[in-house]
Amino acid sequence: QKKGFIFDLDGVIVDTAKYHFLAWKKLAKSLDIDFTEEENEQLKGVSRVRSLEKILSWGNKTISEEKFTELMAKKNDDYLSHISKMDENEILPDVPRILNLLKENKQLISLGSASKNARTILERVHLKENFNAIVDGNDVSKAKPDPEVFLIAAELLHTKPEDCIVFEDSVAGVEAANIVNMISIGIGSEEVLAHADYVFKDFTEISDTFIKSLIKN
């Protein structure tokens, strides 16, 4: 049976949160806002626009629309300067093993990310060829927890939502998968991702047997 396996990117395939942090931190500093790692945690899975809105509200700052647009571009330029140095060494442990196992078993694989830089990153780490479909921040109008991104992925893979399995590190992403009855697999901490159908610390904890059981059921 062919299932659709949908992967979030940031925090699932690669750890880009550290680069988002550096870029947001620099921007916050230029506005005299103190930005912490805990706050950065809360931006996981959150769109770029929404992230800047949150940082401004944490810092009690209001800015003009023009300034907002300018800062968004600045943040992304800075982020891209970090991304440009990425290579396959930054792929998170055992992601290639899982992708290969899925391919050997003729399963369908899609990306389902909020990032507008997803394609660039997949190219940098040389994983792009593994995906039958890529849906990212350029393809959607509604952010997670809206399930739009995953529904488009299912459509592109020609699979029913209930035959899809989603790997996610963010609460919003898990919620999005659950809303449309996809199997949600949380990657991260059990407390944070309590609503996921399954939670694993990382892919090293996911056995081949488990993946095969998902394919069969």
Among residues 55, 114, 174, 183, which is the contact residue for ligand G6P, using CB under 6 A? 114
* Nearest to Mg ion of 55, 121 (CB atom): 121
Cα distances from 147 to residues 71, 114, 135, 144, 215, in angstroms, run 28, 11, 12, 6, 22
Could you give the C-alpha distances from 83 to 78, 88, 98, in angstroms and in order?
9, 12, 24
The stretch near Mg ion (CB under 5 A) out of 42-50, 121-129, 158-166, 197-205 is 42-50
Rounded least distance, CB 212 to ligand G6P, Å:
29
Q: Binding partner of residue 116 among ligand G6P, Mg ion, none, CB under 5 to 8 Å per kind?
A: ligand G6P
Confirm or reject binding of residue 111 to ligand G6P (CB under 6 A). no
- Establish if 3 lies at the interface with ligand G6P (CB under 6 A): no
Q: How many helices (H) and strands (E) does the chain have?
A: 9, 6
Sheet with 183-187: strands ordered across:
133-135, 108-112, 4-7, 164-168, 183-187, 198-200
Decide: is 151 part of the binding site for ligand G6P (CB under 6 A): no
Check the annotation: does 29 bind a ligand: no
Could you confirm whether 8 is annotated as catalytic? yes
- The span of 7-15, 115-123, 144-152, 183-191 binding Mg ion (CB under 5 A) equals 7-15
Partner interacting with residue 48 (select from Mg ion, ligand G6P, none; CB below 5-8 Å by kind): ligand G6P
Determine if residue 139 is left, alpha or beta; phi over 0 gives left, psi from -120 to 50 gives alpha, anything else beta.
alpha
Q: Which token pair is 51?
A: 């992230």
Closest-CA residue to 139 (of 127, 122, 155): 155
Annotation says 197 is catalytic: no
Alpha-carbon separation of residue 180 from 88, 99, 146, 155, 166 (angstroms): 32, 23, 10, 13, 11
Of 25-44, which residues contact ligand G6P (CB under 6 A)? Answer: 43-44
Annotated binding site: 8-10, 24, 43-48, 51, 75, 113-117, 144, 168-169
Annotated binding site for substrate: 8-10, 24, 43-48, 51, 75, 113-117, 144
The residues annotated as belonging to the active site are 8, 10
